[in-house]
Amino acid sequence: MSQPGVLLDRDGTIIVDSGYVGSVDRVEFIDGAIAAIAALNRAGVPVAVVTNQAGVARGYYGIADVEQVHKHMIAEMARHGAHVDLWLFCPYHPDGIVEAFARRSADRKPGPGMALAAGEALDLDLSASWVVGDSPADVGLARAVGAKPLHVGPPGSAVMGVDAFPDLAAAVRFILGGDTAPAPEQQKAPKFPAAKFHRADSYGGAYVAELARAFATVDLEQVSRAAKILNAAYDRDSAVFACGNGGSASIANHLQCDHVKGVRNGTGVTTRVQSLSTNVELFSAIANDLGYEHVFEYQLQSQARPGDVLIVISSSGRSPNIVRALDWATAHDMPTIALTGFAGGPARRRAEVSIHVGSANYGVVEDAHQACMHLLAQYVRQSRMTPDAVVSQTF
C-alpha cells in the first residue's frame, strides 16, 4: 500500500542557505531541523530530500562535492538519531557553463522529476504527501504532483495561500498533528517594491523574481477547472463573456482575440466569445445613464443565457461592476471564473473558479493574469488537436 511521505528542500529548510553550499565547511544546520526529521522517523513517515544544485551546472562545485556535503549531513543527523530515506538532487540548469549539465531538466524544481522518483522509490502516495521548502519552486513542485505544499521561512517570505511556518520544526509538528497552520487569509503578500531602486536593471531583476514568486501562488487545479468549464462551453456552443476595468479590460479584450481567432487555428472550432469591456458606445451609454457599476451586468441581462460562461478579471476583486456581474451570472445559472490578485476581494469568494495571484503589485498581478489567459487559450486549443497537429503548429 502506498503511504504518505515528506519531501524536504535542503538549503533554507534543513541547512542555512548561504548561497551555493558546495563544501562541508559551509554546512550549518537550522535549529531544530535534525530533531524534526527524527520526529518524522519515529512516526514512520518516509523522508526524502529533493534539492536543486545549479552550482554544478554553473561550475561552482562538482557532483562529488554535493555527495560529500550529503555524506556529512547523513553523519551529523545519525549522531542525533535522524536519517533521510532518499537523497535526490538536480545538477542541471539551462544557463550553466559546464556543458554536461547546461540544459533543462524535468528534475529541476518546480519540475516534477525528483518527486516522481521519490514516489516510486519509497512507494509514496504523492497526493497524500507534503513538500516542505522555502521557495516558490518548492510550492510549484508540490502542485505539479498533487502534494501539499508547506512553506518555511521568515515572515513576509511566504507564498500566498500556502500554509506557512517559521521553520521545519513547526512544519513537522503540523504534519504530525501537534500544531495548527495559520489561516491563509491572515497571510499578506510581501510589498513590492519595498525600497527605492536606482538602476533599471536591478529593478528588472527584482521584478522578474517577484513575478515568479507571485505566479507560483496560482493554484493550478483552479486553472484546470477553468479549462474544463471553457471546453464544456464550446462543446455545447455556449457563449463566453469576459470583462475587466483598466489594464484588466485589455486582458478581457485579448482573451476574446485568443479564443475566437487562436483556438480556431488548427482546430476549426468556432467559439462565441465576447469582451464586455470593448464596445465604448454601449459601455459609456450604460455608465452615463445607469451608473458605472452596471456596465457589465446590463450587457449580460441582454445577451447572456443560462449555461453561458462569465470570466471576470480584477486585480483587487472589489470593483462593484465586477461583483454585480458575478452575482447576476451566478443567479442565472452561468459558470463563473475570476482572475484576482491582492486579497482577492468578493470576486475571489463568489466565483465558481478562482484563479488567484498572491501579489500586491498591480503590474505583477496583471502580468500573471495575462499569462493565465494565454495558457488557458493554448491549452484549450491543443486539447482539440491531434498529437501530430500539436507538433506541427506554432503556438
Marked catalytic residue, from 11, 134, 138, 258:
11
Query: Is 138 tagged catalytic?
Result: no
Q: Which residues contact 356 (CB under 8 A, 6 or more apart)?
A: 160, 161, 217, 218, 219, 222, 339, 340, 341, 344, 348
How far apart, in whole angstroms, are the C-alpha atoms of residue 238 and residue 305? 8
Query: Is 219 tagged catalytic?
Result: no
Q: Which residues contact 186 (CB under 8 A, 6 or more apart)?
A: none
How far apart, in whole angstroms, are the C-alpha atoms of residue 240 and residue 232? 11
Burial 355-390 (b: 16+ CB within 10 A, else e): bbbbbbbeebbbbbbbebbbebbebbbbebbeeeee
C-alpha cell at 130: 507534503
C-alpha cell at 372: 493565465
Strands 336-340 and 309-314: parallel
- Where helices occur in the chain by DSSP H, the ranges are 33-42, 54-57, 63-79, 113-122, 136-145, 168-175, 200-215, 220-235, 247-257, 280-289, 295-303, 320-331, 345-350, 362-383, 387-392
Opening angle at CA 111, ends 106 and 113, nearest 5: 55
Q: Which of 329, 347, 327 is nearest to 338 (CA)?
A: 347
C-alpha cell at 52: 536543486
How far apart, in whole angstroms, are the C-alpha atoms of residue 24 and residue 152? 23
Q: Which residues pair with 11 in a beta bridge?
A: 15
How far apart, in whole angstroms, are the C-alpha atoms of residue 104 and residue 385? 26
How far apart, in whole angstroms, are the C-alpha atoms of residue 78 and residue 57? 30
Catalytic residues: 9, 11
